[in-house]
Structure 1
Amino acid sequence: MGAEQSLRGRQALVTGSTSGIGLGIARALAKAGCNLTLNGFGDAAEIESIRADLAAEAAVEVAYDGADMRRPADIEAMVDGHVERFGGLDILVNNAGIQHVSPVEEFPVDKWDDIIAINLSSSFHTIRAAISGMAERGWGRVINVASAHALVASPFKAAYVAAKHGVAGLTKTVALEYAEKGVTVNAIAPGYVETPLVTGQIADTARARGISEEEVVRDVMLLAQPTRKLITIEQVAAMALYLCSDAAGAVTGTVLSIDGGWTAK
């Protein structure tokens, strides 16, 4: 049974899904038959257009919640609202993330706090609110979008690397706690993906390293990945879809790299 059949009628929530990887995963889940809740910041009219188009294209129900991932109360209300609307939450994808590139001695404290809150703590809050319902129903999928930086470090990204290493540890811990309850918990660790988040950090990285933006792409991003290619959003979404499938029922507590060979070095 393919994912398109096995996920028909499942209910999914994807944080940070108004653009980039999150939107790509949301599209894949909708195409596979999931009703879903989108979440993220952006222009209200543009988000509504994305929501309506996705619902029409996939013939599923699509909601939107603008919960601020820095605020635990917003997160809990989002999960509760999703469950009330759809009758349950089967698939949780924690993708919300921001980035800031700066030497540690210059790293703004507010940026540190926001990155830890959005990239790490929000996953704890969503999981805490959602996972008991999955266990009660005997089926659930939690996917945390981590990064190659959950496994290795790079200069000038102290908060991001710390948060993503934390996501890896959170993934493993929760997987062990729910291993006998029909709930799998995994992390996807992409390398550099062609997204607004990656594109947006090129100029900051150039300033931090004292090199040109062209050199950042050539000598930092593509050099990190032996394939010398950026990862595509579609490749990450396909891995997420696999982790939601029945075929991946024995895959839990893992951090799955999709990084062009970066962490093999």
Structure 2
Amino acid sequence: MRGLKDKVALVTGAASGIGLAIARRLAAEGMAVGVLDLNAEASAAAVEGIRAAGGTAEAETCDITDFGSVTRAVESIEARLGPTWALVNNAGWDTPMAFLETRPDFWRKVVDINYLGPLQMTHAVVGGMVRRGGGGRVIFIASDAGRVGSSGEVVYSGCKGATIAFSKALAREVARNNVLLNCVCPGPTDTPAMTAFVGTGEQGEKIRNAMVRGVPLGRIGVPEDYPGMVAFLASDDAAFITGQTLSISGGLTMHG
């Protein structure tokens, strides 16, 4: 992709799953990658793997629900790698539960991680992009749950829908600063989070099989299905794209 080499990307939730796949791809494109995650051991392993492949990466423990942790992590990574060009808001969490069985403590956790967390990261990073005057990119890993809804993920779906709306509104505010914001919406994806979500054994297999039947391409996603689009949106090839929401779901959801 054009314009990525030697620029800095921050990826949240980058120690595993989709975030790790994104971090690896951006590093392969020549970017210096800040691996932000709560899991320090897994973050260190991710950085080691990127460096072994010839890439540049640094890790920082970051709790996206804590604004102090966010600002410290951003400052630490930028002190080591340089100013951020691309922020990838990937970190998220949920557990399947019917809405009427949930309680306020669960709502707050889901909202803190999936909505307020990306807002805090964006505030901490975009301010620097605007002050420096060189532009930048923010890519949200949202979800098709935020576009069409998902049973058992009601609060999560609401957070992802809010994230999509937030990205569009902020894209308007900072467009003249050449800071571009877009959303990538994965469909069901085979990750450790998915395994925790659907469970194991016969019941988990039934849920997975039902997901596969709903996807025209005949499979659920894998983490490597998304990094190419993220790299594109971070690149000069996407310099005239902002405020957009792109589904990558094997045809499960099709928007005109």
Identify whether the pair has TM-score above 0.5, normalized to the shorter chain.
yes
Instruction: State the one-letter code of the partner of 1:252.
Output: T
Counterpart Cα distance in 2 of 1:188 and 1:65? 24
Q: Which residue of 1 aligns with 2:39?
A: 42
Report the TM-score, using the length of structure 1 for normalisation: 0.90
* Cα shift readout 1:97-152 (whole Å, capped 9, x = no counterpart): 11111111211433321111111111111111111222333220100000111201
Q: Deviations over 1:49-73 (max 9, x none)?
A: 221221231332x111111122111
2:104 matched to which residue of 1? 109
**Letter of the 1:98 counterpart:** W
Greater CA deviation, 80-89 or 67-76? 80-89
- Of stretches 130-139 and 189-198 in structure 1, the one that deviates more from structure 2 is 130-139
* TM-score (norm. length: structure 2): 0.93
Q: Which amino acid aligns with 1:132?
A: G
Candidates 175, 178, 199, aligned match of 1:182? 178
Moved more, 224-233 or 21-30: 224-233
One-letter amino acid of the structure 2 residue matched with residue 186 of structure 1 = N
Equivalent residue of 2:246, what SS?
strand
Q: Which runs of 5+ in 1 are unaligned?
A: none
The alpha-carbon deviation at position 165 of structure 1 amounts to 0.6
2:65 is equivalent to residue 75 of structure 1:
no
Q: Distance in 1 between matches of 2:156 and 2:16?
A: 19
How many angstroms apart in 1 are the aligned matches of 2:187 and 2:3?
29
1:189 aligned counterpart, secondary structure: strand
Matches within 5 A, 1:151-190: 151-190=147-186
Match in the other structure for 1:217: 208
Provide runs of 4+ in structure 1 moved above 6 Å.
Answer: none
CA distance in structure 2 between the partners assigned to 1:249 and 1:257 by the alignment: 19
Matching residue of 1:19: 16
Contact 2:59 2:77 in 1 (8 A): no
CA contact (8 A) 1:191 1:225 kept: no
- Of 137, 146, 161, which aligns to 1:141? 137
Whether the 8 Å contact between 1:100 and 1:111 is mirrored in structure 2 is: no
Equivalent residue pairs, number = 254
2:232 corresponds to 1:253: no
How far apart are the structure 1 equivalents of 2:43 and 2:128?
Answer: 28
Shift of 1:195: 0.9
Contact 1:8–1:32 (CA under 8 A) maintained in structure 2: yes
**Matched residue, 1:226:** 216
User: Which of 202, 205, 209 is the aligned partner of 2:198?
Assistant: 202
Deviations 1:212-246 (A, max 9, x none): 22221122x22332222112222200110111111
Instruction: State the shift of 1:43 in Å.
Output: 6.1
Code of the residue aligned with 1:213 in structure 2: it is: G
**RMSD, aligned CA:** 1.9
Letter of the 1:144 counterpart: F
What residue ranges of structure 2 are gaps of 5+ in the alignment?
A: none
Which residue identity does 1:232 align to in structure 2? V
The residue type paired with residue 8 of structure 2 is: Q
Contact 1:96–1:119 (Cα < 8 Å) also in 2: yes
Answer with 19-28 or 153-162: which moved more. 153-162
Give me the whole-angstrom Cα distance separating, in 1, the residues matched to 2:22 and 2:55: 16
